[in-house]
Amino acid sequence: MAPRLFSCFGKCNSSSSSSSTSMHGKGKSNVTVDASAEEQRRGGAVLVELFSSQGCVTSPEAELLVSRLGRGDFALETPVIVLGFHVDYWDYMGWKDPFGSSQWTVRQKAYVEALKLDTMFTPQVVVQGRAQCVGNEEESLLSSIMNAPKFPSPTFQATFQRPTSESLQVSLSGALRTKVDSNGANVMAALYESGLLTDCSKGENKGRVLSNDYVVRKLEKLATVKDVSAKKTVSGTVNFSLWEGFNSSKCGIVVFVQDNSHQIFGSQNFQLPDNI
């Protein structure tokens, strides 16, 4: 898709690092955690995906909004899980987003096609794979979340292991709590990082210190399932290659169920333990 078809939106639709740290839990240590009791008590979470870029002048406002959303600043009745996907199609503007990936651009393009949109743009929010809005429009975002279909969160238990200092192995087992029919669905696992600060020296955000949370660093498929009851146990293992400066205290895992039409049918969030 040619750059001229991309847009960078503000509220008025105007266009426009790594550091070293000690490794935790090297070797074969195992840590097992469950989803938060609060998430299970309040019912299924709504998955909010932000597509943004450090090369887009209006993306920082959206990043701040979804960071507040993920922290629970809006006191919504429905729990929300946030993932940030940094696309790479603004890199030609003079600043290469250190978290940008063509893989995330492809993911956004799939949503654009599924939602029958005319163009790709940043910042864009996709809610439960079913609705979308401009990422820095607070009212539209909150409305999309409140109107989104709700599904029970899976009841996975996660066991974390560090086979090597450069890898993280996550074993998951539990019920999806939503029936999957013969059309099938994928169970995906995203490894994200929060608390990221970047000195932007070029491009549309030159001179700004950019803050990013819930940034997806890795995305892997745990399993493909079909004709599965809501109560049947699903198990699998994913392996994530880690980056320089990986710090487990800043990271988490989101597991979500997504069908071939890109709709989300349940999601679950795990914070990584500090001692892994």
Contact yes or no for 29/175 (Cβ under 8 A): no
pLDDT tens digits, one per residue of 178-198 = 999 999 999 999 999 999 999
* Whether the predicted pLDDT of 140 surpasses 70: yes
Distance CA 262, CA 21 (A): 37
Tell me the per-residue pLDDT of 98-125, one tens digit each, with 9 for 90 and over.
Answer: 999 999 999 999 999 999 999 999 999 9
pLDDT of residue 95 exceeding 90, the answer is yes
Q: 10 Å Cβ neighbour count for 243?
A: 13
Number of residues assigned to the chain: 276
* Whole-number pLDDT of residue 2: 37
Rounded to a whole number, what is the distance in angstroms from the first to the last CA of the chain? 41
CA distance 40 to 247: 27
11 pLDDT band, cuts 50/70/90, is very low
Q: For residue 29, what pLDDT is reported? A: 44
Mean of the per-residue pLDDT values of the chain? 88
Confirm or reject CATH 2.60.40.150 for domain 36-271, answering yes or no: yes
The predicted pLDDT at position 12 comes to 39
Task: Name every residue whose Cβ is closer than 8 Å to that of residue 169 and which is 6 or more positions away in sequence.
Answer: 160, 161, 162, 163, 237, 238, 239, 240
- Model confidence at 138: pLDDT above 90: yes
pTM for the model: 0.87
The per-residue pLDDT for 7 is 74
Which of 27-31, 137-141, 196-200, 236-240 has the least mean pLDDT?
A: 27-31
pLDDT in tens, 44-60: 999 999 999 999 999 99
Q: Residues of the chain with pLDDT > 90: what percent? A: 83
Question: Residue 195 has what DSSP assignment?
Answer: -
Q: Where are the beta strands (DSSP E) in 92-232?
A: 120-122, 124-127, 131-134, 157-161, 167-175, 185-193, 196-199, 209-212, 215-225
For residues 35 and 2, give the distance between their C-alpha atoms in angstroms, rounded to a whole number. 42
pLDDT at 85 over 90: yes
Question: Quick one: pLDDT at residue 109?
Answer: 98
CB burial of 14-34 (b: ≥16 within 10 Å; e: otherwise) equals: eeeeeeeeebbbeeeeebebe
